[in-house]
Amino acid sequence: MALHDSEGHRRILRSLGMLPVLIGLGGAIQIATRVFTGEGRFLAAQNLSIVAQQASINIVLSAGMTFVILTGGIDLSVGSMLAAAAMVSMLVSLDHGSAGILGGLFAGLILGLANGSLIALLRLPPFIVTLGSLTAVRGMARLMGGDTTVANPDLAFEFLGNGSIPLIPGVVGIPWLAALALSVILVSWFVLRRTVLGTWIYAIGGNPAAARLSGVPVRRVLLFVYAVSGVCAGLGGVMSAARLYAANGQQLGQSYELDAIAAVILGGTSFVGGIGSIWGTLVGALIIAVLSNGLILVGVSDVWQMIVKGLVIVGAVALDRYRSRGGART
Amino acid sequence: MDAEPLLEMRGISKTFVGTKALANVDLAVHAGELHALMGENGAGKSTLMRILAGVERADPGGEIRLAGHPVDIEDPRRARNLGIVVVHQELALAPNLSVAENLFLGHEHSRFGILRRRQMERECRVVLDRLGVDLAPMERVGHLSIAERQLVEIARALLAQSRVLVLDEPTTALSTRETDRLFDILRELRSGGLALIYISHRMAEVALLADRVTVLRDGRLVGVLDRRAIDSDEIVRLMVGREVTSLYPRTRLRERQDATILEVRGVADRHRVRSCSLVLHPGEVLGIAGMVGAGRTELARLLYGADERIAGEVYLNGTPLPPSDPRASIRAGLAYLTEDRAALGLFAAMSVSDNVNIAVIAADARAGGLLNRGRAAERSESTIANLRLRALPSATAGTLSGGNQQKLLLARCLQPGPRVLILDEPTRGIDIGAKAEIYRIIDSLAATGVGIILISSELPEIVGLADRVLVMRDGELVAELSGSEVTQEAIISLATGATRPRLH
């Protein structure tokens, strides 16, 4: 019985993934802010709301990235697609108001489908294809605004970036950004765990040859995951534009793909595909956001922020490997 | 055999979380002895060899002696230094490096960090000559056949001055001719004073080669047989723990069927398969025999559409199948069980239930592609019951034994309700209990009218199960045998080209 118990504990610990790291990190930052600044500012409601907003765009990108990485692929172009989608949504919003939202999502979908077509139909390696579109789509984003910032002070959908959905009117609300991010996670969970498509995604990542022989429509599924990543980047673009009332093709979304990949990997998704969960990705993205926020609160310079962030990402994954040794290898 | 054994393992036990993999097992092997180690999958053979190779540590209490001295094999490096080498089923060679580079991998000759290529090649050639192997030292290992790679592994063991050589199922992927050559080499090594441990499922090989046999069952030692006492019935009885009445059941009626369920006309690929035609009747088991490399797997893949047909047609019940579309083949009622379980079949990280259901989840799904979890559970539970699979539906497929994995893949093939089933080496590397199960399933499927194409390198299997046998050689179907013509001797002589094929 004792053996079974310890096995059970291990399984629970494994299923929690990086959650203990997130909680520990939050606790440490709370203590650090109390020590360095005299008050525990991290757990204040207002700060947590800021963290949620800061995390939300990365959560959305990471959700799309999870689909792609689960098939054993990679999408390096999400930051550029985000910028292009933000430009489209701003340009559309100037004349057509809220239709800018659809414009941004549609732009993301088209770019994602373009990536997916090259990968699924022409069978080019995902790394190469999305490395190319990382650059090319960035160029398109700059081209669209004539290489300048497009602003719209009367943005019809600015509430998405700055408003809240009141839960108890006037007292507690949930920021629209966070609500969108959470919805994306829930939908992703549903697709991955409750639909045929989700099972196919895991199958392709786990064993592509076996998937094909078992009658899984591999190309269509690959096309789908890159389209999902594009739509998520499109939504991220709309969210960024709404928050800033503006979009700039050159700066917006620079190196966002790295944070998204980091969140997915921190969340325990295998880089070779087939293993991972969307909850892990959510926790991974929150770890990155909490860390950035905490370092700012404690007053660490941005140079050191970068160094610490990088080390924490590697350290957290190393810890996870150490802990789950003997379990399924990822 | 009265002298002190070269290798002696005494009272070896190994406990994994919750299970006892080995309980107080002894093994003694003399220099100049070929000692067969037998047992069903999961009997503990591999664990015992992993302990010998330093990959696993035994529980305290046991002892390993080499030439009379107790040794502590704490890691694989130590094992190698002691002269213990294991040639694994999954060969551990770097395909991108040359034969010579592989032989010296990790122990390269160098001077001031610069490789002494010439010297290594020279020594490599000496070892290869000693084995009587005609291979160029500079040949890339990736270009070699499985049999040749195995010889490279053995050469590596010789080069390491090994005293104990363990071969794990070395003939699984070899043709009869390659097997014979390997046996010659093993006999040579034995007379050279090496202690050989030979793991195999094949009774005939053990009867032919072994000086003694140690049999394990469920992690326990159940018998050690001397050369004179080696008898396949006795070994099977020890391995299984019960009498195997009939390995090849035949409950179906053997009657001449005139209906055709599968018709293949002149199919060919770009490389190996040349203009193959065949006809399959409902309820028939059609064996396809031939040497490894004759093109049997390639032919099967062409029929299924796993690789592209460049010529010829395949009709299933009169419906033509597209040249390269496994999905369409499944829909038409064709199923294919791959020969390469790990690489082409199993989703190791997914559950038993997902593995069984993957080909039918779309057909079972509710509106909008929602998984029908109730139906999936029914399918996986009835599979577990019918195929006597020892696993829970939620278990991770990669943790199952080879035999259970194979049953799982067979169950997957059966879910869409195929009319024609192509089985490619359905019993490779699985234990005798699981084999008997699979033979039973083949027989009962045929009895329900499913047409079965059985590809196998195990001739007793072909002879025991098939109603009719096609012999393949060099990419062509060269002969057809049926009824009393189906004998191992006839198949071998046709497959090797010793007999002129009867054209049909």
The domain that holds A317 is classified in CATH as: 1.10.3470
B356 min Cα distance to partner chain A (Å): 10
Closest CA to B301 of B281, B279, B271: B271
- B304 contacts in A (CB within 8 Å)? 213
Determine the Cα–Cα distance for residues B177 and B170; give it in Å rounded to an integer. 14
* Chain-chain contact of B348 with A275 (C-beta, under 8 angstroms): no
Instruction: Look at residue A12 and tell me if it is in a domain.
Output: no
A217 → closest Cβ in B306, B327, B354:
B327
Nearest to A214 by CA among B412, B322, B301: B412
Of A52, A45, A11, nearest in space to A239 by CA: A52
Q: Are residues B169 and B219 in the same domain?
A: yes
φ and ψ at residue B471, rounded to 5 degrees: -105, 130
The residue among B98, B47, B221, B175 whose CA lies nearest residue B474 is B175
Is B1 contained in some domain? no
Residue B7's region, left for phi above 0, alpha for psi from -120 to 50, else beta, is: beta
Chain A residues in contact with B370 by the CB 8 A cut-off are 194-196
Q: Does B352 touch chain A (CB under 8 A)?
A: no
A187 touches chain B (CB under 8 A): no
Q: How far apart are CA A102 and CA A97, in angstroms?
A: 10
**How many domains does chain B divide into?**
3
Q: Does residue A35 form part of some domain?
A: no
Residues B90 and B44 in one domain: yes
Show Cβ contacts of residue A129 under 8 Å, excluding neighbours closer than 6 positions. A115, A118, A119
Out of B415, B442, B459, a domain closes at: B415
Packed helices A45-70 and A218-244: angle between N→C axes, nearest 10 degrees: 160
**Which 8-state DSSP code applies to residue A161?**
H
Residue B327 has pLDDT above 80, yes or no: yes
Q: What is the pLDDT of residue B371?
A: 93
Say yes or no: A224 contacts chain B, CB-CB below 8 A: no
Element holding B304 (H helix, E strand)? helix B296-304
Residue B348 domain flag? no
CB within 8 Å of chain B, chain A residues 263-282: 274-275
Q: Residues 6 or more apart from A38 whose CB is under 8 A from it? A: none
Q: Which residue has the tokens 């080879």?
A: B402
**Structure token digits, residue B102:** 């592989």
| Residue at A32 is within a domain | no
Mean pLDDT to the nearest integer, A176-184: 96
| More confident call, B312 vs B242 | B312
Contacts of B306 in chain A (CB under 8 A): 212-213
Quote the CA–CA distance of B297 and B422 in Å, as a whole number.
Answer: 10
Q: How many CB pairs under 8 A join A and B?
A: 84
Distance from CA of A327 to the nearest CA of B (A): 11
B234 falls within a domain:
yes
- Does A211 contact chain B (CB < 8 Å)? yes
For residue A128, pLDDT over 80 is answered with yes
pLDDT band, residue B390 (cuts 50/70/90)? confident
Residue B17: what pLDDT?
62
Give yes or no for a contact between B33 and B1, defined as CB atoms under 8 angstroms apart. yes
| B338 near A CB under 8 A | yes
Share of chain A above pLDDT 70, in %: 93
User: Which residue in B344, B361, B412 is closest to A199 by CB distance?
Assistant: B361
Q: How far is A199 from chain B (nearest CA, A)?
A: 8
B48 min Cα distance to partner chain A (Å): 19
**Which chain B residues are within 8 Å of A214, Cβ to Cβ?**
326, 358-359, 412
Confidence band for B91, pLDDT divided at 50, 70 and 90: low
Who among A198, A210, A212 is closest to B346 (CB)?
A: A210
Cα–Cα distance measured from residue A317 to residue A301, given in angstroms and rounded to the nearest whole number: 24
Q: Do B330 and A195 touch (CB under 8 A)?
A: no
Q: Are residues B24 and B115 in the same domain?
A: yes
Contact B17 A213 (CB under 8 A): no
Mean pLDDT of chain B, nearest integer = 86
Q: Which of B323, B307, B264, B246 is nearest to B451 (CA)?
A: B264
Mean pLDDT, rounded, for B299-320: 94
Least confident of A311-325, B277-291, B359-373: A311-325
User: What's the rounded Cα separation, in Å, for the pair A298 and A172?
Assistant: 27
- B221 with B268, same domain? no
Contact B354 A203 (CB under 8 A): yes
Please tell me whether residues B323 and B177 are part of one structural domain.
no
Is residue B227 included in any domain, yes or no? yes
Q: What is the pLDDT of residue B504?
A: 47
Confidence at residue A329, expressed as pLDDT on a 0 to 100 scale: 37
Quick one: closest CA in A to B364, which residue? A196
pLDDT above 70: residue A236: yes
DSSP single-letter state for residue B335: E
Summarised one tens digit per residue, pLDDT across range B418-474 is: 999 999 999 887 877 788 889 989 999 999 999 999 999 888 888 889 999 999 988
Radius of gyration of chain B (CA): 24
| Residue B331 pLDDT | 93
How many angstroms away from the CA of B76 is the closest CA of chain A? 18
Chain B residues touching A207 at Cβ < 8 A: 343-348
For residue A211, give the H/E element and its range.
helix A208-213
Check pLDDT > 50 for residue B103: yes
Assign B227 a pLDDT band (cuts: 50, 70, 90). Answer: confident
Contacts with B347 from chain A: Cβ below 8 Å = 202-203, 206-207, 210-211, 274
A301 interface with B at CB cutoff 8 Å:
no
**Same domain assignment for residues B29 and B124:** yes
**Is A172 contained in some domain?**
yes
Contact between residue B247 and residue B458 where contact means Cβ atoms under 8 Å apart: no
Tell me the shortest Cα–Cα distance from A198 to chain B, in angstroms.
9
Residue B283 in any domain: the answer is yes
B374 to chain A, any CB pair closer than 8 A? The answer is: no
3-state secondary structure B13-48: EEEECCEEEEEEEEEEECCCCEEEEECCCCCCHHHH
Q: Do residues B187 and B259 both lie within one domain?
A: no
Average pLDDT over residues B146-157: 82
With an 8 Å Cβ cutoff, is A23 touching chain B? no
As beta bridge partners, residue B287 has: B454, B469
- The arithmetic mean of pLDDT across residues B138-149, rounded, is 83
Q: Would you say residue B40 lies in a domain?
A: yes
Contacts of B365 in chain A (CB under 8 A): 195-196
User: Is residue A215 within 8 angstroms of chain B, CB to CB?
Assistant: yes
Of B212, B240, B268, the last residue of a domain is B240
Asked if residue B325 belongs to a domain, the reply is yes
Sign of CA dihedral A318, A323, A325, A327: negative
Contact residues, chain A, for B18 at CB < 8 Å: 3-4, 7
Residue B344, domain member (yes or no): no
pLDDT interval class at A4 (50, 70, 90): very low
Q: What pLDDT, on a 0 to 100 scale, did the predictor assign at position A330? A: 37
Q: Which helix (H) or strand (E) holds B280?
A: strand B276-280
Count of domains forming chain A: 1
Nearest to A207 among B331, B347, B359 (CB): B347
Distance from CA of A63 to the nearest CA of B (A): 20
The pLDDT of residue B53 is above 70: yes
CATH number at residue B197: 3.40.50.300
Between A247 and A319, where is the model more confident? A247
Q: Do A210 and B18 touch (CB under 8 A)?
A: no
Same domain, B158 and B287: no
Q: What was the pLDDT predicted at B89?
A: 65
DSSP-based three-state secondary structure for B9: strand
The dihedral of CA B61, B65, B68, B72: what is its sign?
negative
In which residue are the tokens 């999870």 written? A66
B498 in contact with A at a CB cutoff of 8 Å?
A: no
A194: chain B residues, CB-CB within 8 Å: 370-371
Chain B contact for A213, CB < 8 A?
yes
Question: What local confidence, expressed as pLDDT, does residue A328 receive?
Answer: 40
The DSSP line for A94-134 is: HHHTTHHHHHHHHHHHHHHHHHHHHHHTS---HHHHHHHHH
φ, ψ at B163 (rounded to 5°): -110, -30
Mean per-residue pLDDT of chain A: 89
| Residues in chain B within 8 Å Cβ distance of A221 | none
Domain that holds residue A91: 20-26+44-323
Domain boundary among B195, B219, B240: B240
The reply to whether A232 falls in a domain is yes
- Rounded to a whole number of angstroms, the distance from the CA of B369 to the nearest CA of chain A is 6
Indicate whether B259 pLDDT > 70: yes
CB-nearest to A214 from B18, B370, B412 is: B412
Residue A34 falls within a domain, yes or no? no
Those residues with Cβ within 8 angstroms of residue B7's Cβ, 6 or more apart along the chain or in another chain: B27, B28, B29, B52, B64, B65, B66, B84, B164, B195
Q: Does A4 touch chain B (CB under 8 A)?
A: yes
> Smallest Cα–Cα separation from B83: which of B111, B60, B64, B108?
B64
Identify whether A330 is part of a domain: no
- Between the two ends of chain A, the Cα-to-Cα distance in Å is 29
Greater model confidence, A109 or B90? A109
Percent of chain B with pLDDT strictly greater than 90: 41
Give the number of residues written for chain A. 330
Domain of B361? 353-415
Q: Which of B42, B474, B22, B86 is nearest to B219 (CA)?
A: B22
Q: Cα–Cα distance between B277 and B286 in angstroms, integer?
A: 13
Tell whether the model's pLDDT for residue B27 goes beyond 70.
yes
- pLDDT band at residue B247 under the 50/70/90 scheme: confident
Q: Phi and psi (nearest 5°) for A103?
A: -55, -45
SS3 B7: strand
More confident residue, A317 or B91: A317
- Segment B377-400 mean pLDDT: 88
Among chain A residues, the shortest Cα distance to B340 is held by A210
User: Is pLDDT at B238 greater than 90 in this prediction?
Assistant: no
pLDDT tens per residue across span A45-72: 888 888 998 899 999 999 999 999 999 9
**Phi first, then psi: what are they for B403, rounded to 5°?**
-65, -40
CA atoms within 13 A on the CB side of B263: 10
**Per-residue confidence at B26, pLDDT binned at 50, 70, 90?**
very high
Angle between the N-to-C axes of helices A256-266 and A278-298, in degrees from 0 to 180, rounded to the nearest 10: 120
Q: Does A221 touch chain B (CB under 8 A)?
A: no
% of chain A beyond a pLDDT of 90: 64
The half-sphere exposure of A224 on its side-chain side, counting CA atoms within 13 A, is: 17
In this prediction, residues B13-17 reach a mean pLDDT of 80
The predicted structure's pLDDT at residue A271: 84
Q: Do B358 and A3 touch (CB under 8 A)?
A: no
> How far is residue B217's CA from residue B226's CA, in Å, rounded to a whole number?
18
- Statement: residue A242 has pLDDT above 60: yes
> Touching check for B367 and chain A: CB below 8 Å?
no
Tell me, yes or no, whether B325 and B213 share the same domain.
no
Does residue B377 belong to the interface with chain A, where contact is any CB pair within 8 Å?
no
Nearest to A196 among B304, B369, B396 (CB): B369
Rounded CA gap, B102 and B155, in Å?
10
B308 and B376 in a common domain = no
Which of B339, B384, B377 is CA-nearest to residue B357? B377
